[in-house]
């Protein structure tokens, strides 16, 4: 008994095949139907992007360089020392004037008192500037960096003057301390890490 041409699309379907459905491919036999995609081998195709280091790139906060952190800490320490010196100078000026007034020579010491008070106010102002710069290191721009460079340079010159004129006394000792502070702060502001930090995009 003949069932017609099996290749005739208008003929009766083969046995076991429902009419109106396309012929099913035998299972387990490769080579029939649409070819499947080959498995992707690792290392081929488009390379994946390398992981973005922490602290860089858009949307990731940049970490403050270590030398900038050191300069910031030194500014805070310097501010504390400047406040102490200003306080002692102010107290000393008051004590000198009180003693002079007690013995009736207040007019003779008024100039000395005025100089001490002026230095005390200067030290308090410098301490305030040191704290301001240290705080602004976190979000400040190139203006803070330039101000810090100028400040450290002037402090460096003042330290050298104190060392020369101190004659081995307290002025020389204070000059050496401020020279070390100013040198480290200035060195931290003139390198490429400081430029990248203060010129980074602010989010």
Q: Is the pTM of this model over 0.75?
A: no
**Residue 158, domain extent:** 66-198
Quick: pLDDT tens for 57-89: 445 567 889 999 999 999 999 999 999 999 998
Q: How many domains does the chain have?
A: 1
Is 33 within a domain?
Answer: no
Is 36 within a domain?
Answer: no
d(CA 58, CA 49): 15
DSSP annotation of 203 reads -
Tokens 């008024």 sit on residue? 110
Closest CA to 172 of 183, 180, 182, 161: 161
What is the arithmetic mean of pLDDT over 111-122? 87
Is 145 within a domain?
Answer: yes
Tallying the residues shown for the chain, one arrives at 203
pLDDT band with cut points at 50, 70 and 90 for residue 125? very high
Is 98 within a domain?
Answer: yes
State both tokens at 39: 């498995």
Is 135 within a domain?
Answer: yes
Quick: pLDDT tens for 25-55: 555 455 555 556 555 555 555 555 555 444 4
Is 55 within a domain?
Answer: no
Is 186 within a domain?
Answer: yes
Is 176 within a domain?
Answer: yes
List Cα–Cα distances, 160 to 134, 151, 172, 181, 201, in angstroms: 23, 14, 9, 12, 37
Q: Return the sign of the alpha-carbon dihedral for residues 37, 38, 43, 45.
A: negative
């Amino acid at each position: 008994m003949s069932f017609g041409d099996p290749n005739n699309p208008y003929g009766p379907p083969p046995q076991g095949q429902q009419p109106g459905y396309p012929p099913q491919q035998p299972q387990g036999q490769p080579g029939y139907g649409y070819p499947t995609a080959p498995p992707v081998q690792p290392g081929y195709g488009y390379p994946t992007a390398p992981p973005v280091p922490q602290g860089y790139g858009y949307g990731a906060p940049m970490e403050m360089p270590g030398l900038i952190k050191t300069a910031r800490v030194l500014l805070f320490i310097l501010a504390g020392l400047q406040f102490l010196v200003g306080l002692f100078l102010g107290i000393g000026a008051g004590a000198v004037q009180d003693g002079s007034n007690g013995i009736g020579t207040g007019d003779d010491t008024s100039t000395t008192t005025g100089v001490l008070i002026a230095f005390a106010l200067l030290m308090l102002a410098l301490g305030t500037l040191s704290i301001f710069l240290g705080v602004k290191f976190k979000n400040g721009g190139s203006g803070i960096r330039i101000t810090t460079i100028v400040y450290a340079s002037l402090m460096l010159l003042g330290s050298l003057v104190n060392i020369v004129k101190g004659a081995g006394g307290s002025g020389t000792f204070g000059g050496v301390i401020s020279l070390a502070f100013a040198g480290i702060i200035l060195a931290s502001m003139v390198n490429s890490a400081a430029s990248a930090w203060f010129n980074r995009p602010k989010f």
